[in-house]
Structure 1
Amino acid sequence: MTSLPQKAIPGKARAVIIGGGVSGCSVAYHLAKLGWTDIVLLERKQLTCGTTWHAAGLIGQLRASQNMTRLAKYSADLYVKLEEETGVATGMRQVGSITVALTQERKHEIYRQASLARAFDVDVREIAPREVKEMYPHLNVSDVVGAVHLPLDGQCDPANIAMALAKGARQRGAKIVEGVKVTAVHQKDGRVTGVSWAQGEEQGTIETDIVINCAGMWARELGAMSGVTVPLHACEHFYLVTEAIEGLGRLPVLRVPDECAYYKEDAGKMMLGAFEPKAKPWGMEGIREDFCFDQLPEDFEHFEPILEMGVNRMPMLGTAGIHTFFNGPESFTPDDRYYLGEAPELGGYWVAAGYNSIGIVSSGGAGMALAQWINDGEAPFDLWEVDIRRAQPFQKNRAYLKERVSETLGLLYADHFPYRQVETSRGVRRSPIHEHLKARGAVFGEVAGWERANWFAREGQEREYRYSWKRQNWFENGREEHLAVRNNVGLFDMTSFGKIRIEGRDALAFLQRMCANDLDVAPGKIVYTQMLNNRGGIESDLTISRLSETAFFAVVPGATLQRDLAWLRKHVRDEFVVITDVTASESVLCLMGPRSRELIQKVSPNDFSNENNPFGTFQEIEIGMGLARAHRVTYVGELGWELYVPTDQTAHVFEVLEEAGRDFDLKLCGLHTLDSCRIEKAFRHFGHDITDEDHVLEAGLGFAVKTGKGDFLGRDAVLRKREAGLGRRMVQFRLTDPEPLLFHNEALVRDGKIVGIITSGNYGHHLGGAIGMGYVPSEGQSESDILGSKYEIEIAGERFAAEASLKPMYDPKSERVRA
């Protein structure tokens, strides 16, 4: 493919894609398929010359969630068809894949994944070590305890896939230009207006209002030029290819995660690749200008432990000659998930980058989803787990990234235990009482950079997680905290909540348009509401307090703050509204439980009675020697208050509450308890139970929707759904056997047939069993039809009986909340 002469670079385009790896080529192909003809893709050197050319090309369809699996399946189907469509050989072969387990914990994990695969309609089979040996005769299976086989997985030639996508895009009118470097992205009034480029001595500008950053390991620096956060960092990724081995024959792709290794047969040779536990970050000083199809220096010492295990696992490697020992850079993100979507900082600036070694299998589907999103103005389905809006601005810090990606590469093949915490780059965001909590036994987890107390260790108990798929070492701690909240009083530090002020002359009109509930309430009232999209899906789940005629205060989960800010700002019209992130200005101490009123009255002279401070209202209070706002709301389903305390007074207020709490046996509680309490009350969790793909009525949140108040975003979709009836209902489940645990993504079985998944799960210590939420198909069915069925939940291939309820199993009438 030769460079186009300068005159062929147009002065105007509908979209400019930056980066010619598999991601950029896929976005170009899919936009062109949607009928976009004036697209330009600019590649600084040559197509595929960054990471794509040396990718291993494994096509595994099963991913951690339904939509990621949907995208991977789409990629596999696309790569099979591309060859026919473009005449470019993609090397796509559906040889199948096997994952083997060497421990009982890993066997449980891969069997859970097999249950999930069945729920997503992916062909899968659990197989015995004997069957592994039949399919993979060269393998030592002496210590294999279990395995799963996915017959439709495969492998491909990554560079040719990119070339095929590029050709398909060109055939539909897209322009692809190599040897052109982007020097600037222009913007005006918060939107993209154009791109400047250089090709040798030639320079120019393309007018455009859509730019897509597909720059791979350069994406962070390219984003930084425009003030856009794309937190990723390159790591060294190693593999070796043997000389030809006689009689090797076609083999499935093999993964041995307990040895951090994958194996792939290709043209009679064997490839062994690694995701080692401590990786080597690369490119700290930036990436050389002339980098193109480059390899990194060999580091055999680093790879040797993997090879030693490999020779034991596949003895023929001991005698096969090494043809290639390869080391090349790949980009990794702080949470091992890629970035897709429109950057919150700049309208018209889109991102598809950071693929964490699964770029080939992801890019087909990601390109399709992003093209659809750009074309329609909203995501085709829930893409929150890869949404660029989950990135926190501080995460572009290079010291943070360098340390974190040394861990995230290895986490790809580590055991994916529930509640697993990252260990690197910790302590960046802390509450003012962090040290107080630490001194009292807090064991911290991290979300969006925030250190949060997940559970409290007893005196003399070790303060770290012992991970397992069964009950972990903090299970009893969680139980004690949970029962303290149900029967007495507990205190949570929820400073990580996102806090947004929305104020100005038009604030009420703006929020009435954005929210499904009615915000025209008296100052002092708190409204629980959702912000919906045009499909009636839930973009945000939040509470909004009216501070005055013109000022409102929204509280959102810490993880969704950037998403919620972007959603609000994107929808401001010619209105006088100011939207400010005030998260750091106040801490939140949640005092919850039946004795919370008695305790708070000990430290504050204010009136906390139902007459003066009913549920859903707030008041400014004196507390100790400070001031706070006491919001009477709850996420645990008990009487209680969220205390919003100025950051500088937080430690004082905490000390006052703790001192007074001695007479009440006040218990400090962590985030795990918050979650186990909320699931007993069937409160929904954004990102799991409710997403932008879930209709607000089907999620059971119709009580917070007021169609009579006038027009708002999503109102038509609510009215249509009311007319048509619900296609599915959110149901709460409790396992009747108290032993098994639910976490998320277990298969939901109705009358013997898998009908969905558990969207979130935890242990209900008060209800005495694992609790899960999930959607059940309900078209044309009454409540008694739904509840009359027989339900089971499949965990790692085993089915357990479950009782179902459409009302919260705990305190269905919310009498405790309003006590």
Structure 2
Amino acid sequence: MKTHVKALVVGGGAVGTSIAYHLARAGWDDVMLLERDELTSGSTWHAAGLLPYFNMSYATTHIHDYSIKYYKTLEEETGLNAGFSVVGNLRMAQTRERMDEYMVYATTAETCGVPYEWLKPSQIKERYPLVTCDDLVGAIYHPTDGYINPADVTMAMAKGARQRGVTIERKWQADAFHWTGDHWDVTCTKMVEKGGNLVPSDEQIIIHAEHVVTATGNHPQRTAKLLGLKIPAIPVEHQFIVTEPDPALVEWRKENGEHPVLRDADAKWYVREERGGWILGPYERNAPARFEYGVPDSFRADLFPLDLERIEEEYMSMIHRIPSSETVGLKDDFNGPICYTPDGNPLVGPAPGLRNMWLAEGFSFGITAAGGTGYYLAQLMVEGEAAIDMASLDPKRYGSWMTTEYAARKNEEAYEHVYILHHLDEERPACRPLRTAPVYDRQKALGAQFGHVNGWERPNYYGPLDADDNFDHDARSFRRGGWWQYAVEEAKAVREGVGLIDATAFTKHVVKGPGATEFLDWFTCNKLPKVGRINLTYALTSNGTTRTEYTIVRLAEHEYYLVSAGAWTAYDSDYLRKAAEDKAGEFGYIEIQDVTTQWGVFAIAGPKSRDVLKEIVKDADPATVLGNKRFPWLTCRDIELGMCPVRAIRVAYTGELGWELHHPIEMQNYLWDQLMAAGAKHDMKLVGARAQNWLRQEKSYRAFGNELGRDATPLEADLPRFVDLDKDFNGKEAMVATGVRSKCCTLLINGPEDADPWGREALYHGETRVGRLTSGGYSVAFGKSIGLAYVKPELAVPGTKLQVKMFDQLWTAEVVEDSPYDPKNEVIRIDG
């Protein structure tokens, strides 16, 4: 058995075998896969093998698309039939709102080149007469997918991996991981059969691996303990039943082809044919999480007892939808563990705090995602970055605040929501509130309606409190939700008067020490600011794309305050620390502190914002302390607001005159009360994140995770003013070599009267698809929809006419100059 390898993949399910295969295909010729039992003995063996395209995530859609195409090539390569039945996928809708969901999804699918068709109820009935269609309003149909045999596709990938030189070892368990400084020493124990159980023997070896990938299926909690990490992947029970042959189906099949996979999302189930009968897979309420603290050693290819009462509603709805199934008996049943994460997306990428350790955990749709995960993770490992931005799947999207209880309860919620309408303005309630700023109760009492970012509660908008207003704050929509009218008023208040925004969730780091200046100069692409000044800048990947956006405040010669997106604290911190460690020998001592929870942030913005602050600022000359001479735009000053010391930064994400007020978190309530009292004299309005998102688009401010990411360079984001090509910085050479493949621009959109884009829609130039929106919303300044987009450079020119695909229609749009609101930045610099 080998003891020295380039990469060790731990886990022999569909995901692990795909990763091993794709690493070998990408050129790594010394890859080993380790499986503690037999290949496919985890969730793979009892998976239903469905291959659904449907996903609201751009990255995940690409992953699923690759898998479906890749699986069709396996037989030619390996000689093994993967059992792919390309029967299509028919996703039915009982309501117009469900069709709205499908249309929002479809335009995302279109940006990835995924084919689909629309079917009316009569067309469904004509094609599939066994299906009741009286209560349907339509369906979306994917002709190119279907279902596959999970064991067969895994074995085909395993054979393909072996053909490419991968070593696969079964009955070996990874029991310890030790990083030596340049490779991992992985202690492995031989597993043996004993009394029907799999138990460790006395035989052990140490495998020296440059890279390790964990794809441990139902065992991520054990993996987490071995690595000293928190991994919010915990299995949830999923049951499906198999019926006896249905005579009506058997008769139908004599002269017709197989039904597509049927999904009645409003009834929360999928159904497909199986040997003349049906498989029903429900996603019911109250499915419990299992193995929160690890899988028992006695649990192998085992199942849980079936709980038919829990799925009775879904079973009866199947009978309604396929009446011929009513008299058919049950042939088999399965109730097994399937891993989930709090948001339903897998954890794929580098492990936090560790070198050359890669996670591929938490796959609720593991068969669908396995092929694409192997492909794109191999790109990350071999080339440094993937062809798509994988940040939305990064394990570091959950920080150290995450606990086992949180993961278990949120994973149960994610399971339950598989078929609940995926509103893009939804806010799921489980485990909330959890992370709250001190001012939370005051905001709630004033009508704040909260979203959550990285666990933090953050106001989305402020609405009526009185139940007599007959306003349902939980009313979601794929068009303009009930909250829209309140966000409009909040946005207008910032443009015309003054608004106060809670930005406490911002990520904040202090970087200081003798090596800090040289390090940050290399780490970021813009000039470093002078003491007391600020700069917007980017940390790049080795491939020259955007890894993180920072606002850098220079506090002293070698001390900096870095502010970045609130959703990405652990993600940013890990990259920053690892980069500093890599350069410590070159630049000298660097100290990095995550001070996110030590500082609260309020943003005050609007033409009257200076007037509000003058009411409470303490200075020998309050009339001038906030003026342009003493406090110009893009500077930082320590001021006092009442008794609260404030690190005030003159910048505003809304593009208006404004300040960010960074303050000691323990004084937040005091500062809030001071601001509220002063603001009352100037009709100050409380403003949430949704209005702020619209306002930043009017200024063409790019957002990390939308316009800014690891699939585009700052030059492609059309931000050359924040790139200093006269200095050397990480990723510069790759950025320049990449050129400008596509370009970010701003669009004003003549969309439907009752809807705005969400920032995932396809763009057309004539009949040709030419790009996609990355942000979308409503502009109070222009009275129409607005969005940011990536298109071919020659189309990113003001005046270019394009069309946006919304609700299966093309709506006219025009590319406008950057920062269409106040393009000369006059209002943001206004003196007073």
What's the TM-score bracket when you normalise by the shorter of the two chains? over 0.9
Q: What is the 5 A alignment of 1:76-91? A: 76-91=68-83
Encode CA deviations 1:85-120: one digit per residue, 9 max, x unaligned: 222221012111111110010011112323333332
- The question of whether the paired residues in 2 share the 8 Å contact of 1:195 and 1:208 is answered with no
Q: What is the 5 A alignment of 1:691-710? A: 691-708=709-726, 710=727
Aligned-pair CA distance for 1:463: 6.8
Aligned to 1:5: none
User: Does 1:247 pair with 2:251?
Assistant: yes
Aligned-pair CA distance for 1:181: 1.6
- The question of whether the paired residues in 2 share the 8 Å contact of 1:737 and 1:769 is answered with no
Aligned to 1:162: 154
> Structure 1 residues 91-100 or 265-274, which shifts more?
265-274
Encode CA deviations 1:778-808: one digit per residue, 9 max, x unaligned: 25x6x6xx44443221112122222321322
Q: What percent of counterpart residues are identical?
A: 34
* TM-score using structure 1 length: 0.95
Aligned to 2:781: 766
User: Does 1:194 pair with 2:186?
Assistant: yes
Encode CA deviations 1:435-477: one digit per residue, 9 max, x unaligned: 1111111111111110111111224145732111222122221
CA distance in 1, matches of 2:62, 2:51: 13
Selected match of 2:45 from 50, 53, 63 = 53
Selected match of 1:681 from 699, 714, 717 = 699
- The question of whether the paired residues in 1 share the 8 Å contact of 2:184 and 2:208 is answered with no
- Aligned to 1:378, the other structure's residue is in SS state coil
- The question of whether the paired residues in 2 share the 8 Å contact of 1:57 and 1:158 is answered with yes
Q: What is the 5 A alignment of 1:244-393? A: 244-245=245-246, 246-249=250-253, 250-284=258-292, 286-356=294-364, 358-393=365-400
CA distance in 2, matches of 1:420, 1:277: 18
> Structure 1 residues 39-48 or 94-103, which shifts more?
39-48
Selected match of 1:464 from 453, 470, 473 = 473
User: Does 1:29 pair with 2:21?
Assistant: yes
Aligned to 1:184: 176
CA distance in 1, matches of 2:550, 2:306: 51
- Aligned to 1:161, the other structure's residue is in SS state helix
- Structure 2 vs 1, CA of residues 602 and 399 (structure 1 numbering), >3 Å: closer, same or farther? same
Selected match of 2:539 from 521, 531, 535 = 531
Aligned to 2:122: 130
* TM-score using structure 2 length: 0.94
Aligned-pair CA distance for 1:684: 0.9
Encode CA deviations 1:190-226: one digit per residue, 9 max, x unaligned: 9744344343221121112311110012113212321
- The question of whether the paired residues in 2 share the 8 Å contact of 1:275 and 1:409 is answered with yes
- Structure 2 vs 1, CA of residues 625 and 615 (structure 1 numbering), >3 Å: closer, same or farther? same
Q: Which amino acid aligns with 1:243?
A: E
CA distance in 1, matches of 2:26, 2:810: 43
Aligned-pair CA distance for 1:725: 5.7
User: Does 1:604 pair with 2:617?
Assistant: yes
Q: Which amino acid aligns with 2:603?
A: C
> Structure 1 residues 740-749 or 195-204, which shifts more?
195-204
- The question of whether the paired residues in 2 share the 8 Å contact of 1:340 and 1:350 is answered with yes
Aligned to 2:432: 426
User: Does 1:70 pair with 2:62?
Assistant: yes
- Structure 2 vs 1, CA of residues 632 and 331 (structure 1 numbering), >3 Å: closer, same or farther? same
CA distance in 2, matches of 1:600, 1:468: 38
- Aligned to 1:114, the other structure's residue is in SS state helix
Selected match of 2:599 from 586, 602, 626 = 586
Q: What is the 5 A alignment of 1:556-635? A: 556-572=564-580, 573=583, 574=585, 575-606=588-619, 607-635=625-653
* Alignment: residue pair count: 801
Aligned-pair CA distance for 1:399: 1.2
Q: Which amino acid aligns with 1:674?
A: Q
User: Does 1:653 pair with 2:671?
Assistant: yes
- Aligned to 1:235, the other structure's residue is in SS state strand
User: Does 1:668 pair with 2:686?
Assistant: yes
Root-mean-square deviation (Å)? 1.8
Q: Which amino acid aligns with 1:240?
A: I
User: Does 1:398 pair with 2:416?
Assistant: no
Aligned to 2:813: 802
Encode CA deviations 1:373-396: one digit per residue, 9 max, x unaligned: 11123333211111112122222x
Selected match of 1:690 from 698, 708, 713 = 708
Selected match of 1:145 from 131, 137, 155 = 137
Aligned-pair CA distance for 1:18: 1.1
- Structure 2 vs 1, CA of residues 45 and 31 (structure 1 numbering), >3 Å: closer, same or farther? same
Aligned to 2:442: 436
Aligned-pair CA distance for 1:242: 1.0
CA distance in 1, matches of 2:800, 2:614: 48
Aligned to 2:461: 455
Q: 4+ residue stretches of structure 1 with deviation over 6 A?
A: none
CA distance in 2, matches of 1:719, 1:140: 58
Q: Which amino acid aligns with 1:556?
A: S
Aligned to 2:213: 212
CA distance in 2, matches of 1:788, 1:528: 28
Aligned-pair CA distance for 1:352: 0.7
User: Does 1:489 pair with 2:498?
Assistant: yes
CA distance in 1, matches of 2:160, 2:752: 54
- Structure 2 vs 1, CA of residues 701 and 41 (structure 1 numbering), >3 Å: closer, same or farther? same
> Structure 1 residues 286-295 or 358-367, which shifts more?
286-295
Q: Which amino acid aligns with 1:14?
A: K
Encode CA deviations 1:145-189: one digit per residue, 9 max, x unaligned: 011111111210001111111111122222212222211111245
CA distance in 1, matches of 2:45, 2:825: 59
Aligned-pair CA distance for 1:612: 0.9
Aligned to 1:237: 238
Q: Which amino acid aligns with 1:167?
A: K
CA distance in 1, matches of 2:121, 2:139: 7
Aligned to 2:829: 818
CA distance in 2, matches of 1:718, 1:214: 32
- The question of whether the paired residues in 2 share the 8 Å contact of 1:227 and 1:345 is answered with no
User: Does 1:38 pair with 2:30?
Assistant: yes
CA distance in 2, matches of 1:248, 1:321: 19
Aligned-pair CA distance for 1:766: 2.7
User: Does 1:716 pair with 2:722?
Assistant: no
Q: What is the 5 A alignment of 1:541-556? A: 541-556=549-564
Aligned to 2:763: 748
- The question of whether the paired residues in 1 share the 8 Å contact of 2:34 and 2:173 is answered with yes
Aligned-pair CA distance for 1:257: 0.6
Aligned to 2:194: none
Q: Which amino acid aligns with 1:416?
A: H
Encode CA deviations 1:609-633: one digit per residue, 9 max, x unaligned: 1111111101001111121111001
Selected match of 2:486 from 474, 477, 482 = 477
Aligned-pair CA distance for 1:655: 0.8
Q: Which amino acid aligns with 1:384?
A: A
Aligned to 2:165: 173
Aligned-pair CA distance for 1:727: 4.1
Q: Which amino acid aligns with 1:625?
A: M
Q: Which amino acid aligns with 2:45?
A: W
- The question of whether the paired residues in 2 share the 8 Å contact of 1:618 and 1:632 is answered with yes
CA distance in 1, matches of 2:478, 2:744: 29
Aligned-pair CA distance for 1:535: 3.3
Aligned-pair CA distance for 1:718: 4.2
Q: Which amino acid aligns with 1:441?
A: G
- Aligned to 2:822, the other structure's residue is in SS state coil
CA distance in 2, matches of 1:739, 1:103: 18
User: Does 1:499 pair with 2:505?
Assistant: no
- Structure 2 vs 1, CA of residues 136 and 765 (structure 1 numbering), >3 Å: closer, same or farther? same
Gaps in structure 2 of 5+ consecutive residues: 192-200, 620-624
